[in-house]
A = this chain, B = another copy of it.
Amino acid sequence: MKIGELSRRTGVSVRMLRYYEAEGLLAPLRTESGYRDYGPEEEQTVRRIKMLGAAGMTLETIQRLLPCVRNNDPAFTPCNELRRILAQQVGLIDERIETLSQSRTILAGYLASVN
Contacts and interface: CB of A to CB of B under 8 A. Distances in A.
B97 A104 contact: yes
A83 interface: yes
Interface band, chain A: 20 to 34
Secondary structure call for the A interface: helix
Given A100-B96, A104-B90, A110 B56 contact: no
Given A55-B107, A89-B107, A97-B104, 12 more contacts: A54-B106, A55-B106, A74-B106, A74-B110, A76-B110, A76-B114, A78-B114, A83-B114, A86-B114, A93-B104, A93-B107, A94-B104
The 6 A-B residue pairs with the shortest CB-CB distance, nearest first, are A56-B103, A55-B106, A86-B111, A74-B113, A93-B104, A74-B110
